[in-house]
Structure 1
Amino acid sequence: MSRTRRTGEGRGRAGSMLSGIAVALGCVLFLGGFVWGAIVYQPYTVPTDSMTPTIGAGDRVLAQRIDGSDVKRGDVVVFQEATWGDMPMVKRVVGIGGDRVACCTDGQLTVNGKKIEEPYLPADTNASLTGIKSTTVPEGRLFLLGDERSGSLDSSVHLGDADHGSVERGAVRARVDAVAWPMDGMLAKPTGFEELPGGISRPGPLRLIVATVIAGAVLVLAGAAYGPIAKRARRPRTRASEPVGV
């Protein structure tokens, strides 16, 4: 057996081994990413347009399962409260226990006297329609508003309740990170709340999970494609026959 042939076969075996490793690792990453996502995230379909334009009616969102104690101002949360209809609802947290919430000063929501910039609101929002009287959020509870302030059934509608329209933290099921369908991607950071004590929440690991799944798919496809490509490359090339002179 020639040295060239032995070298070619050695390279072929090494390539096949690397191809198998790539496929195996790709499967681990691909399936592991899906399992990781299923453990951390829960999909929800938003039934109303109260969160327009951030989230529309019928949109499919991905929400990270969290404990209510981890919720911060600016979070868009999924919660379930008997006095609100006892069904999963999606609203934005604008106040936590101890906060003084009111609307409006110069057309803006205020929390503890600070005017909050809310770029996620519809451009034609009429602040006067919100009409939130100054109220203090009870400890251990959350004050929630829809981004569509003129038509959202939120804390402003429940202000007459004993708890000033608030919802207990334990009612929160998850925090929305992204709109999966239509594919609008990750929600924008609620920067208007950054300077308040406690700051804002960091996004969950959704980007890393998606990157893991994509990397796994690429490795599987690349490893699977190696065999046919290498086999084709090893085929001996036949020289075209020369024309016979007359």
Structure 2
Amino acid sequence: MPLWQEIPLLLIIAFVLATVIKTFVVQAFYIPSGSMEQTLLVSDRVLVNKFVYDTRDPRRGEVVVFRGTDSWVPENGVQQNTGALATAGRMLGGLIGAAPPDEKDFVKRVIGVGGDVVQCCDKDGRVEVNGTPLVEPYIFEDDPIQERPFGPVTVPDGRLFMMGDHRSRSADSRVYLNDQWRGTIPVEAVIGQAYATAWPASRWGLLPEPDTFSDVPTALGEKPHSEPQPAGATALLVLPVLFGPFGLLWSRRAPRWLLRPDSRRRRRLRW
């Protein structure tokens, strides 16, 4: 095909692939607030695994992106233009995590799962889950100890108790304890697990699960059991690059010998 025909076709294919990946595999999200500092900073872009919870439920300690319920107040305060061009721009920007976040998207850490009893505080001001005080090294700044107490809250089955790492600035489940579900959110509202920071480049890396909950018993008093990290997290980190518009265009413009490993052998035979 002539170049003037091939480039638009490649762009269409690239954006279709990017949309499929965003919908079913991995999506970049923009961090709009400081509620997860210092784990995640304002304007960070995180990659979210959207299929991991198709096979299991979220676990304590994982950082997840979710849709807030009706009672949750947006944290980003972004006033979005509703015009056609602005909407199209947000759709394209959303493919690479550059667009402002949806006002109902939140990112928090899972503290309690269905059946857990969450409360604060023990004598040292620590949150307790099923009677076990948590050692939380990821906390950035906490509320004064006299302002921390809440609960106990029994998390309903199929729901999650969420808290931010910047406790003094996070409007999380603690703020909505008076709603119908005691501030918990349904598992179905979870979009995916935030597993890596993709931007800025200086903060590139995976988000490991902490050991905080390794000794916390289940709601039935059973000993916790550790599960291996899902394989392929590092590979997922490069998917947006491999399948994005620039990756596909690069493959069109790249030297043919890079794309055809047998070409050198053929050249030697001709020589």
Flag whether TM exceeds 0.5 (same fold). Answer: yes
Give the equivalent residue in structure 2 for 1:205: 232
Give the equivalent residue in structure 2 for 1:244: none
Mapped contact 2:30–2:45 kept (Cα < 8 A)? yes
Identity of aligned residues (%): 36
Mapped contact 1:97–1:138 kept (Cα < 8 A)? yes
Mapped contact 1:62–1:179 kept (Cα < 8 A)? yes
In structure 2, the CA distance between the partners of 1:201 and 1:155, relative to structure 1 (3 Å rule), is: farther
Q: Distance in 1 between matches of 2:108 and 2:65?
A: 7
Cα offset for 1:211? 7.1
Give the equivalent residue in structure 1 for 2:25: 40
Matched, 1:189 2:206: no
In structure 2, the CA distance between the partners of 1:120 and 1:223, relative to structure 1 (3 Å rule), is: farther
Cα offset for 1:222? 11
AA paired with 1:172?
V
**Count of residues paired in the alignment:** 198
Q: Distance in 2 between matches of 1:57 and 1:102?
A: 28
Unaligned runs of 5+ in 2: 1-13, 74-102, 217-223
Relative to the length of structure 2, the TM-score reads: 0.62
Relative to the length of structure 1, the TM-score reads: 0.67
Give the equivalent residue in structure 2 for 1:135: 153
Specify the SS of the correspondent of 2:49: strand
Choose which of 37, 54, 72 in structure 2 pairs with 1:84: 72
Cα offset for 1:84? 1.2
Give the equivalent residue in structure 2 for 1:57: 42
Specify the SS of the correspondent of 2:167: coil
Residue by residue, what CA displacement relative to the aligned partner does 1:12-69 show, whole Å, maximum 9, x if unpaired?
Answer: xxxxxxxxxxxxxxxxxxx9xx979655211111111100000112111001004375
Give the equivalent residue in structure 2 for 1:169: 187
Q: Relative contact order (C-alpha < 8 Å, sep 6+): which is higher?
A: 1
Cα offset for 1:137? 0.8
Give the equivalent residue in structure 2 for 1:144: 162
Q: Which has the larger radius of gyration?
A: 1
Q: Distance in 2 between matches of 1:134 and 1:120?
A: 22
Cα offset for 1:157? 0.4
Cα offset for 1:107? 2.3
How well do the aligned residues superpose, as a CA RMSD in angstroms?
3.5
